[in-house]
Structure 1
Amino acid sequence: MVALHASASVAWAGEATYAARLTPTRAGAGASGEVEFSLETNRANQEVVVVRANVRGLTPGKHGINVHENGDVSGCDDAGACTGKSYNPDKRPHHGPTALKKFGASACHFVGDGCVLNRHIGDLGNIVADENGDSTTSFKDLYTTLKAGTSNSIAGRSVVIRATADDFETEEDDGGAGPIVLYGSIVRK
């Protein structure tokens, strides 16, 4: 008998890592960095996207991070407007990364178990910059993917980092987080 052991976090075979090299806007002058996205499985054998942000030159504190609709940022203006709006194919309200909405009489523990995702696909939350303005943040998102052909795929779109924290309520400026300070296309690495 052969025993198979699975790692707690396994990359999906055949799936590439994606990354966005970040460009500063006028509001983010002096900031730089990269956000990397990889597809892995968690301990419950669920597909998750691991987001790793390595950013410098931000103001200390929280900064909203969102995926936007448009991936081609080659002709962007100095405010990052070419990125479009927060990616929201299901027309859900703006909320935090784990926002779920209950339906029916059953309990709501995860999508498909009496609840639906109640946020934009692009709502990833906040990263935190230290007192030097640097952020090396890593987190997992259960509700996005890098697999092509699905409405929740963020591959080929853009990622933006905002001037301040996402409040997870306000629709405008990705949770009232102010102007875009950094942006970049999410492309295969």
Structure 2
Amino acid sequence: MASDNTKSRSRSCLGASVAGLVTFITILFLSSATGRQSEQVVKAVAFLSGNSAVTGTVAFSQSVKNGPVTVSGTLNGLDPLSKRGFHIHQSGDLSGGCMSTGSHFNPTEKNHGSPSSEERHIGDLGNIDTDEKGTANFVFEDSKISLNGAFSILGRAVVVHAGEDDLGKGGNPESLKTGNAGGRAACGVIGLA
């Protein structure tokens, strides 16, 4: 028969084991909750319009961990079967229409380029393609823009241009600034969704 000391030690060990198990489960739960928080997605949207018939919506989403931004949208009223320059501009000021949005968002002071170029403005998103009805439906990812931090595009404008962006390969000074994408057909301010 076990002594009272042995029974007491067994209960103490059992109590310590239960307490350890509770602590482990609590840590596991908190780790899981923290993991879920880091998987939250920041979402933003811009509603585009301008002096032309071009209208549409562009959505942006990014994980809090600063992953790539998914850009998706639908724009209507563009020329059929065309390419249009598509950029983030430095300002969300629409007081003078799309012209008051400033130049391409370029905090790193680089030359204009394609979305895949190492040398490019943060706001250089290349071209969007239209179908036979003049509608552009698109989804792509970009790893330079962000919805938080130093390169955040929140409060800035997204602009669709009147012409095709030459992606900095036009062989003239304007190509390295704007991609020779022409006038501004429509724009909208990027805000949290």
Runs of 4+ in 1 over 4 A off after TM superposition: none
Corresponding letter in the other structure for 1:36: A
Residue 154 to residue 11, structure 1, CA distance change in 2 (3 Å)? farther
Specify the alignment match of 1:31 in structure 2. Answer: 54
Are 1:180 and 2:184 counterparts?
yes
> 1:45-88 CA distances to partner (integer Å, 9 max, x unpaired)?
97110011210010121001000000132x123xx111100000
Which residue number corresponds to residue 176 of structure 2? Answer: 171
Q: Counterparts in 2 of 1:87-166, with a 5 A limit?
A: 87-100=105-118, 118-147=119-148, 149-150=149-150, 152-166=151-165
Amino acid at match of 2:46: A
Q: CA deviation at 1:171?
A: 3.2
1:40–1:50 CA contact under 8 A, matched in 2: no
* Alpha carbons of structure 1 residues 30 and 146: separation in structure 2 relative to 1, 3 Å: same
Amino acid at match of 1:186: I
- Normalized per residue, the structure richer in strand is 1
Q: 1:81 is matched with which residue? A: 99
Question: In 2, are the aligned partners of 1:33 and 1:56 still within 8 Å (CA)?
Answer: yes
1:47 maps to which residue?
A: 67
Q: TM-score, normalised by structure 2?
A: 0.72
Residue 186 of structure 1 and its aligned partner are, at CA, apart by 0.4
Q: TM-score, normalised by structure 1?
A: 0.74
| Whole-angstrom CA distance in 2 between matches of 1:65 and 1:161 | 5
Q: Which ranges of structure 2 fall in alignment gaps of 5 or more residues?
A: 1-27, 29-35, 169-174
For the 8 Å contact 1:161–1:183, the answer to whether it is kept is yes
Kept in 1, the 8 Å contact 2:41–2:63? The answer is: no
Letter of the aligned partner of 1:187 in structure 2? G
Letter in 1 for 2:54: A
Paired residues, number: 152
Instruction: Name the % identity.
Output: 34
Cα drift, residue 98 of structure 1: 1.1
Q: Secondary structure at the match of 2:49?
A: strand
Higher relative CO (Cα under 8 Å, sequence separation at least 6) belongs to 1
**CA-to-partner distance for each residue in 1:105-128, whole Å, 9 max, x for gaps?**
xxxxxxxxxxxxx10000011100
CA deviations on 1:110-161 (whole Å, 9 max, x unpaired) are xxxxxxxx100000111001110001111100111101x31x2111111000
CA deviation after TM superposition for structure 1 residue 15, in Å: 4.0
Cα RMSD of the aligned pairs, angstroms, is 2.2
Q: Structure 1's 185 and 11: CA in aligned 2 closer, same or farther, altered over 3 A? A: farther
Point out the structure with max Rg over C-alpha: 2
Does residue 58 in structure 1 map to residue 63 in structure 2?
no
Q: Which runs of 5+ in 1 are unaligned?
A: 3-9, 101-117
Equivalent in the alignment of 2:23: none
User: Which structure has the highest helix share of the two?
Assistant: 2
| SS of aligned partner of 1:154 | coil
Structure 1 position 16, deviation (Å): 2.7
Which amino acid in the other structure matches residue 96 of structure 2? C
Q: Select which of 89, 100, 111 maps to 1:68.
A: 89
Equivalent in the alignment of 2:48:
22
